[in-house]
Amino acid sequence: MYNYIDIFAGVGGLSLGFDMAGFNNLLAIEIDKDFANNYMLNLQGHKMLCKDIKQVSKSELDALIGTSIVDVVVGGPPCQGFSLAGNIGRTFLDDPRNMLFKEFVRIVDLTKPKMFLLENVSAMAKHNHGKTLNDIEKEFEKLGYTIKHKTLNSKYYNVPQDRSRLFIIGEKGINNFDFPLEKQNIISIEQAIDDLPALKSGESSNIPNHEAMHHSTQMLEKMAYVKDGGNRNDIPLKLRPKTGDARKYIRYNSKKPAVCITGDMRKVFHYSQNRALTNRELARVQTFPDNFTFVGKNGKIQQAIGNAVPPNLAYELALKIKEALDGKIPKN
């Protein structure tokens, strides 16, 4: 069994996927106490260090990991600063807001895994004409890793959601990793959540986290006009919001995968019910199983769910990493 460490672990989307693929978790690191609590609530038996990764020393890592071999390091460092890269010769990694990328490199350097997986927003692949991604990959190449990267859309990997993310895979020496092939069985949001009990605004159920938020009368009136798969243009002019994010005041299309789940989905409406999705429904769209429950304030739970790598996609990537580690490279 191969061992992994999950840094910037959140509530454990990557960890769950790697567990499903038969990997053994040695350690998870997460700075947010609420996220860490939910991780430990659901992934019992894992070792969680709730701490700022910048404060994690080599001696602390050694004490937590012991003599175990780290085969893989996984994680998705938050990406906040694109603005400075390319200005006056600065690189992406010069921006102090992106210090966490350097921390990922530091942890890889300290633990020396055979492979690593780094997840981030798809925009990184093209930022600054590709130089940003090249700069990041060079940091790992200095440590002896050969890099492959690809933007994957989760809807092709048993996830009922149109979500594109960049995945960077490094392997010591020759990189034998192959990205998983796209699947053709696209899952709609209706297929993913339609069996859950119908709820009205403010109603709850006996299913964990399946509680509808309370919408104002004004909001309920607006959303009632938006048809299945529709948008704010369905709302009469006198009620229609004049400004704001075009990704708001829309209704999920029941026959398609969900739009990308983020940390705030309050103004994206259920395809047939007059409300936003519950946290249970959002978790289903992200492919967290129903026994993966969340505690805390609703807004923080939604943020945690939206930040996660869908476990089903993490599982597909983990299987291919296992193949590379085994040396069982499939013939094309």
Q: Which two tokens stand for residue 105?
A: 């490199």
pLDDT band at 246 (very low <50, low <70, confident <90, very high): confident
Q: Compare 126 and 151 and report the one with higher pLDDT.
A: 151
Q: Is the pLDDT of residue 295 over 60?
A: yes
CATH domain 3-181+310-326 topology: Rossmann fold (3.40.50)
Give dist(CA 268, CA 120) in Å, integer.
23
Q: Is the pLDDT of residue 226 over 90?
A: yes
Give mean pLDDT, residues 191-196.
98
Query: Measured between alpha carbons, how far is 117 from 170 in angstroms, rounded to an integer?
Result: 7
| Cβ within 8 Å of residue 42, ≥6 positions away | 11, 12, 16, 291, 292, 293
- The whole-number pLDDT of residue 96 equals 67
- Averaged pLDDT score across all residues of the chain: 92
Residues whose CB falls within 8 Å of the CB of residue 109, separated by 6 or more in sequence, listed in order: 143
**With 60 as the cut, is the pLDDT of residue 332 above it?**
no
Is it the case that residue 245 has pLDDT exceeding 90? no
CA distance 167 to 85: 20
**Which segment of 6-10, 80-84, 183-187 scores lowest on mean pLDDT?**
80-84
Return the pLDDT at 274.
Answer: 97
- Looking at the predicted structure, is the pLDDT value of residue 113 above 70? yes
Q: Tell me which of 39-43, 81-85, 126-130, 210-214 is least confident.
A: 81-85
**Three-state SS for 19?**
helix
- CA-wise closest residue to 54 among 7, 113, 103: 103
SS3 267: coil
Q: Is 50 a catalytic residue?
A: no
Q: Domain limits of the chain?
A: 3-181+310-326
**Side chain identity, residue 108:** V
149-153, 177-181, 246-250, 259-263: which range is least confident on average?
246-250
Contact (CB, 8 A) for 154 and 313: yes
Question: Residue 330: pLDDT above 80?
Answer: no
Q: Strands 164-172 and 115-121: what pairing?
A: antiparallel
Q: What is the pLDDT of residue 90?
A: 61
79, 168, 260, 309: the active-site residue:
79
Task: Give residue 89's pLDDT.
Answer: 56
Whether 84 shows a pLDDT value over 60: the answer reads no
pLDDT at position 193 is 98
Sort residue 176 into left (φ over 0), alpha (ψ -120 to 50) or beta: alpha
The rounded percent of the chain whose pLDDT value lies above 90 is: 83
The CA distance from 226 to 57, in Å, is 53
Helix (H) or strand (E) holding 102: helix 99-111
Burial bucket for residue 88 (CB in 10 Å: 0-12, 13-18, 19+): exposed
Q: Using CA atoms, how far apart are residues 60 and 49, in angstroms rounded to an integer?
A: 10
What count of residues does the chain have? 332
d(CA 236, CA 238): 6
Residue 129 burial class via C-beta count within 10 angstroms: exposed 0-12, middle 13-18, buried 19 and up: exposed
Residue 126 gets which letter from DSSP?
T
pLDDT digits (tens, 9 = 90+) for 25-57: 999 999 999 999 999 999 999 999 999 999 999
- To the question of pTM greater than 0.85 for the whole model, the response is yes
